[in-house]
Amino acid sequence: MSDPLDVRNLASEGSSFTVRTLVVFLIALSLVLVLLARLVQLQVLEHDSYSIRSDDNRIQVRALPPDRGLIFDRHGVLLADNRPARSLNLVTELIGDLDGVIGELRELVEISDRHVEEFRERLKRRRPFEPVALRMNLAEDEVARVKVNGHRWPGVEITQENVRHYPLGDLMVHAVGSVRRVNEEDAQRLDERRYRGVKFVGRLGVEKFYEDVLHGEVGWQHIEIDARGRIHRILDETPAVVGRDITLHLDSFLQAAARDALDGRRGAVVAIEPKSGGILALVSNPGYDPNLFVTGIRADLYEELATSRDAPLFNRAVKGRYAPGSTFKPVVALGGLAAGATDWERTIVDTGEFRLPGGRRVYRDWSWTQGNAGGQGIVHLRKAVYRSSNVYFYDLAARLGVDALSSFAGQFGYGEVTSLDVADAVPGVLPSRAWKQENRGERWYDGDSVNLGIGQGDLLVTPLQLATVTAVIANRGHWVRPRLMLESDGARPGFDLGEPRPRVEGPTDEDWELLVDAMEDVVHRGNQGFRENGTAWFHIGRDIGYRMAGKSGTAQVVGIAQGEEYDEEALDEYSRKHAWFIAFAPADDPALAVSVLVENGGGGSSVAAPVARAVFDAYLSPTLAKR
Amino acid sequence: MATTYVRSIGLKAVRPRVYLEHFDPLLLLALLGVIVFGMTVLYRDQDVLFAQTVRIAVGVLAMVLAAQVDPRVYLRWTLPVYFGGLALLVVTPFVGVTVNGSTRWLEAPGGLRFQPSELMKIAIPMMLGWYFHRHRMPPRFGDVAVGLLIVAVPALLIIRQPDLGTAVLLSAGGLGVIVLSGIRWRWIFAALGLAAAAAPGLWMMMREYQRDRVRTLFDPEQDPMGAGWNIIQSKTAVGSGGVFGKGLDQGTQSRLDFLPESHTDFIVAVIGEELGLVGVTLLLVLYLAVLARGLYIATQASTTFARLMVGGVMLTFFVYVFVNIAMVCGLFPVVGVPLPLVSFGGTSAISLLVGFGIVMSVHTHRNW
């Protein structure tokens, strides 16, 4: 074995080592060149895209939601404003044990299972590091408790935001409507750019109809954040533009008077200023406190409201459809006059019963037969109105026929929405031959016309529509479409006025005046003896200080079979007739036209008329005093 | 005759004489260049800068001291160092400190932590030098097998910690020493071929999180908030730096904490972001200067032991540099190794500087 550490070997080993070292160095050099190539790729070729990525990391665009425009009534009373409310928000990225933290927070702040459920829903559609509300509307002491312990939970913060507030609570809810928290469906529907960061959107009423006006414009902020979502500085900012304020025709004092006059009964009152079409009162009773809905209502409370038989969430004034009953008679009277089917002198004998020529079915006048058999005797048109003779109008409707009656009634807006800016207003139903064929698949019978003559059958109206009809009569056929908006700051957001509606065609000026006289008799004709007084005189006309023209109505709720008698006492409360009263005053120069509905109230003159009287009293008395 | 003479050089006990001038100015200059340059991006955090300065000062002192020691002393101490290191690796799993699920640290009283694997950066090259020094060059097959064993035993112990990254890097440095030892080229190519063939087997042996790192390398967008986060943010930092960088202390990726580990494993991303391509290139040039000087010293050494030990220390150093920067650029999986002399923290800088001290010692004691 040769010695491994031979000098010759050492020398050759040394040179071999040098070669190898050089090779290894060249490999290292080429590896460094690979790194440099990679750096050139990242820092030169792809620099732009990485710059954008880097900015996307740190620069966040934050939306600054605008404050909603305020809503005032005609006297400047605030109907909807914005109030700071504090909410408890969580940034889940900063919270390790979310359930644990929620559990601890529950000991300081009232947090229901529903809150947690809704919070988890909201979590699904948030952006990274966006704070998500767990509880809104914190009380002062809750805020204090969380703040004292706040340092224990990074990612738990209390923020203040403006939320909608309705100072008059349930009084105005069906007139003004309300906002709701933007939900999934809204998010789909709304323009993402215009609504970024906006938490509330008009849900009902004026808030819904004038959403675009009230909303304002979202502002923007570019902020620099770190990886934990903490804000380091604001880079630039476009401030939000506050929504425009709106002043409505509504008169909250009149609204309160109307609501009080209903005295807790289910029903609706709509009051319109005939000259302007302005809606001064729009009451649907019972109402509810819209503030409950703004920041999320408690489940049990909502359940109670939603399932209540009194349906407080339902806006009867705008969406409730009822048979108008005898309040339709003035329109039938004018239609008869216009078509020449009757005149002011013609009389009939009201025996309390009506048969179509050759017909077998007996149409009775239910209102007066109970214990007073025999009808109203000799009746002319004026008396037919103030005594509300069914038999006269059965006969007149039969003479007029459905075509003439339906098209004439159409001029008053039956069966269509004539209001300009009432959200969700429904058109009701004005039956005709075509309508019946289409909707019932049946031809029109003469008997249908007879029923239509007293506002029964398929004819359906809303209290708003009936107030509109009353205003048209008060204006002697001239139309001013009803509206809520009085004015708005800045450019007045004009509503689409559409085609101006022409004056009701057919009746002469004299016919209009005589009809108004007949309707005045409904209220003022008294002390005339048995079956000679106006139907409402006893209830509201005996001590009235101004001239009111009115008409009562009573609408059947349940069908009554042929030959059966209507026995109010025997019926369930919710099956009783609806009471109507329509009126305007002063009769010669109407300042107000009103429709009153009391659901299942019974008689229109006895139940609904006093409500109308109270509304007029409230509205006219100060005016009269001034004069 | 000559034989006895040479043998006496290797084994005769020579009293080491301490000369403070026993250091290499060129290597020192290149090292200080790397260190100072690395500190520029740490300067905004005073505490970090101070701690790093202390570590570097301790390291430089250790280096100067290590340079004074005669290489023969290192030769004599090789076996205790290597086997002592192995012993520490063996006991680490039982008495070590566990961080993030892996037990790599030994804790001395007073909270001083130390990774035995750091010691192996020097011990493996020493041991290989020692072994090949005693055997005829170029090594025969059996010698190569022993050399591989010298590398494999500590590597396997380190894998068990688990710390695959360090094990692979140390192995790479060790294999580099074997290449330098002059084994036949065809063995090298055969080994490379075998390694390529064994790659699927390696994949099977890897743990799930390690496979995730490899998968993430090729498609970081798959899980941008999780496994892909580090690599996406680090590439974004480097890429957004451009040619000249965003300026010192202007790196938004690091300053706003999007870049993880910005003081430690990913520090070169900060240099790339704030000083741009120019800055990283300068750093690479400085590293190349260190490597070139170190390898030159190796070629000038007079004994096999010295050559291989110096070559091994330098190659291990370079492997760390390359793998770290490749990782930050998204060329390699995230292996969690520091950038030598620049990354903050740990004992890595100190053990490296000791290694460079030994390199200097070799260069200044050429006449033994």
Question: Are A35 and B284 a contacting pair at CB < 8 A?
Answer: yes
Classify residue A127 by its DSSP letter: -
Q: Which of B3, B299, B331 sits opposite A5 (nearest CB)?
A: B3
Task: For residues A458 and A144, give the distance between their C-alpha atoms in angstroms, rounded to a whole number.
Answer: 60
Q: A209-218, A241-250, A567-576: which range is least confident on average?
A: A567-576
Q: Find out whether B315 and B170 touch, Cβ atoms under 8 Å.
A: no
Predicted local confidence at residue A258, as pLDDT: 95
The confidence band for A181, taking pLDDT boundaries of 50, 70 and 90, is: confident
Q: B112 pairs with which residues across the strands?
A: B108
Task: For residues B178 and B173, give the distance between their C-alpha atoms in angstroms, rounded to a whole number.
Answer: 9
Structure tokens at A537: 């005189």
Exposure string for A349-375, b = 16+ CB within 10 A, e = fewer: ebebbbebeeeeeebbbbbbbeeeeeb
Average pLDDT of the segment spanning A483-501: 71
Q: A143-147, A493-497, B46-50, B66-70: which range is least confident on average?
A: A493-497
- What part of B 221-260 touches A (C-beta under 8 Å)? 232-233, 235-243, 252-253, 255-258
A326 given a catalytic annotation: yes
Q: Which residues of A touch B240 (CB under 8 A)?
A: 47, 50-51, 53-54
Is some CB atom of chain A closer than 8 A to the CB atom of B348? no
State the Rg of chain A over Cα.
37
**Chain A, nearest residue to B282 by Cα:** A36
DSSP reduced 3-state for A162: strand
Average pLDDT of the segment spanning A286-293: 90
The confidence band for A278, taking pLDDT boundaries of 50, 70 and 90, is: very high
Angstrom distances, CA of residue B285 to CA of A25, A39, B31, B37, B239 = 13, 14, 12, 12, 20
- Which residues have CB under 8 Å from A61's CB, separation 6+? A220, A221, A222
B224-230 long-range Cβ contacts below 8 angstroms, 24+ apart: B229/B260, B230/B260, B230/B261, B230/B266, B230/B334
Predicted local confidence at residue B8, as pLDDT: 43
Closest CA of chain B from A239, distance in Å: 26
Which of B143, B240, B252, B366 to probe the A interface (max A CBs under 10 A)?
A: B240
Question: Are B331 and A58 a contacting pair at CB < 8 A?
Answer: no
Q: Which of A39, A40, A227 sits opposite B256 (nearest CB)?
A: A227
**Chain B, nearest residue to A51 by Cα:** B240
Question: Are B179 and A24 a contacting pair at CB < 8 A?
Answer: yes
State which of A35-39, A111-115, B119-123, B301-305 shows the largest mean pLDDT: A35-39
CA atoms within 13 A on the CB side of A468: 31
Predicted local confidence at residue A4, as pLDDT: 46
Predicted local confidence at residue B226, as pLDDT: 65
Task: For residues B328 and B245, give the distance between their C-alpha atoms in angstroms, rounded to a whole number.
Answer: 16
Q: Phi, psi (5° rounding) for residue A160?
A: -115, 135
Task: For residues A67 and A215, give the distance between their C-alpha atoms in angstroms, rounded to a whole number.
Answer: 7
Question: Are B277 and A34 a contacting pair at CB < 8 A?
Answer: no
Average pLDDT of the segment spanning A79-89: 89
Question: Are B277 and A43 a contacting pair at CB < 8 A?
Answer: yes
Task: For residues B168 and B149, give the distance between their C-alpha atoms in angstroms, rounded to a whole number.
Answer: 14
The confidence band for B227, taking pLDDT boundaries of 50, 70 and 90, is: low
Q: Which residues of B touch A94 (CB under 8 A)?
A: none
pLDDT at A316 over 90: yes
Average pLDDT of the segment spanning A384-404: 92
Instruction: Look at A163 and A411; give whichever has higher pLDDT.
Output: A411
Question: So what's the ipTM on this one?
Answer: 0.90
Angstrom distances, CA of residue A330 to CA of A477, A529, B159, B332 = 12, 24, 100, 91
Predicted local confidence at residue A189, as pLDDT: 84
- As a 3-state breakdown, chain B gives helix, strand, coil percent values, each rounded to 5, of 70, 5, 25
A412-416 long-range Cβ contacts below 8 angstroms, 24+ apart: A412/A331, A412/A468, A412/A469, A412/A472, A412/A504, A413/A465, A413/A468, A413/A469, A413/A472, A413/A501, A414/A331, A414/A459, A414/A461, A414/A465, A414/A469
Is some CB atom of chain A closer than 8 A to the CB atom of B1? no
Question: Are A17 and B238 a contacting pair at CB < 8 A?
Answer: no
The confidence band for A317, taking pLDDT boundaries of 50, 70 and 90, is: very high
Question: Are B137 and A9 a contacting pair at CB < 8 A?
Answer: yes
Q: Which residues of A touch B129 (CB under 8 A)?
A: none
pLDDT at A555 over 90: no
Is some CB atom of chain A closer than 8 A to the CB atom of B279? no
Number of Cβ pairs < 8 A linking chain A and chain B: 149
Q: A40-44, A587-591, B347-351, B355-359: which range is least confident on average?
A: B347-351
Q: Which residues of B touch A58 (CB under 8 A)?
A: 252-253, 256, 258
| 3-state SS, one letter per residue, for B271-313 | HHHHHHHHHHHHHHHHHHHHHHHHHHHHHHCCCHHHHHHHHHH
State which of A336-340, A558-562, B8-12 shows the largest mean pLDDT: A336-340
State the Rg of chain B over Cα.
21
Average pLDDT of the segment spanning B63-69: 90
Nearest alpha-carbon partner for A554 in A363, A378, A390:
A390
Classify residue A68 by its DSSP letter: P
pLDDT at B18 over 70: no
pLDDT at B315 over 50: yes
**Chain B, nearest residue to A22 by Cα:** B295
Q: Phi, psi (5° rounding) for residue A606?
A: -85, -30
Percent of chain B with pLDDT over 90: 40
The confidence band for B38, taking pLDDT boundaries of 50, 70 and 90, is: confident
The confidence band for A567, taking pLDDT boundaries of 50, 70 and 90, is: low
Q: Is A413 left (phi over 0), alpha (psi -120 to 50) or beta?
A: left
The confidence band for B7, taking pLDDT boundaries of 50, 70 and 90, is: very low
Dihedral sign of CA atoms A42, A48, A54, A56 in order: negative
DSSP reduced 3-state for A430: coil
DSSP reduced 3-state for A412: coil
The rounded mean pLDDT for chain B is 85
Predicted local confidence at residue A190, as pLDDT: 83
Structure tokens at A87: 């909410």
Question: Are A53 and B239 a contacting pair at CB < 8 A?
Answer: yes
CA atoms within 13 A on the CB side of A541: 26
The confidence band for A30, taking pLDDT boundaries of 50, 70 and 90, is: very high
Angstrom distances, CA of residue B320 to CA of A37, A434, B55, B118, B295 = 19, 91, 19, 12, 16
Predicted local confidence at residue A366, as pLDDT: 60
**The one catalytic residue among A326, A388, A419, A606:** A326
Q: Which residues of B touch A42 (CB under 8 A)?
A: 235, 238-239, 272, 329-330
Q: Which residues of A touch B242 (CB under 8 A)?
A: 43-44, 47, 51
**Chain A, nearest residue to B8 by Cα:** A5
Average pLDDT of the segment spanning B52-68: 91
Average pLDDT of the segment spanning B97-121: 78
Average pLDDT of the segment spanning A28-36: 96
H or E segment at A366?
helix A366-369
One-character DSSP codes across A489-555: SSS-------SPPPPPPSS-HHHHHHHHHHHHHHHH--SS-TTTS-TTIIIIITT-SS--EEEEEEE
Closest CA of chain B from A89, distance in Å: 22
Q: A429 pairs with which residues across the strands?
A: A460
Exposure string for A6-33, b = 16+ CB within 10 A, e = fewer: beebbeebbeebbebbeebbeebeebbe
State which of A96-100, A110-114, A251-255 shows the largest mean pLDDT: A251-255
pLDDT at B15 over 70: no
Q: Where are the beta strands (DSSP E) in chain B?
A: 97-99, 102-108, 112-114
Dihedral sign of CA atoms B250, B252, B256, B259 in order: negative
Closest CA of chain A from B54, distance in Å: 30
Digit-coded pLDDT (tens) for A110-156:
888 888 888 888 787 666 667 788 887 788 888 888 888 777 778 88
In the chain, the amino acid numbered A489 is D
Question: Are A35 and B322 a contacting pair at CB < 8 A?
Answer: yes
Average pLDDT of the segment spanning A592-619: 92
Average pLDDT of the segment spanning A533-558: 89
- Which residues have CB under 8 Å from B102's CB, separation 6+? B161, B162, B163
pLDDT at A509 over 60: yes
- Which residues have CB under 8 Å from A108's CB, separation 6+? A142, A145, A146, A149
- Which residues have CB under 8 Å from B164's CB, separation 6+? B206, B207, B210, B335
Predicted local confidence at residue A611, as pLDDT: 95
Q: A236-240, B133-137, B175-179, B241-245: which range is least confident on average?
A: B133-137
Is some CB atom of chain A closer than 8 A to the CB atom of B177? no
Digit-coded pLDDT (tens) for B153-162:
999 999 888 8
Is some CB atom of chain A closer than 8 A to the CB atom of B284? yes
Predicted local confidence at residue A556, as pLDDT: 78
Calculated CA dihedral for residues B351, B352, B357, B358, nearest 10 degrees:
80
pLDDT at A507 over 80: yes
Q: Which of B258, B288, B315 sits opposite A57 (nearest CB)?
A: B258
Q: Which residues of A touch B253 (CB under 8 A)?
A: 54, 57-58
Percent of chain B with pLDDT over 70: 90
The rounded mean pLDDT for chain A is 86
Predicted local confidence at residue A570, as pLDDT: 55
Question: Are A43 and B239 a contacting pair at CB < 8 A?
Answer: yes
Q: Which residues of A touch B258 (CB under 8 A)?
A: 54, 57-58, 226-227
CA atoms within 13 A on the CB side of B75: 25
CB atoms within 10 A of CB B21: 8
Predicted local confidence at residue B19, as pLDDT: 52
The confidence band for A562, taking pLDDT boundaries of 50, 70 and 90, is: very low
Q: Which of B179, B272, B276 sits opposite A20 (nearest CB)?
A: B179
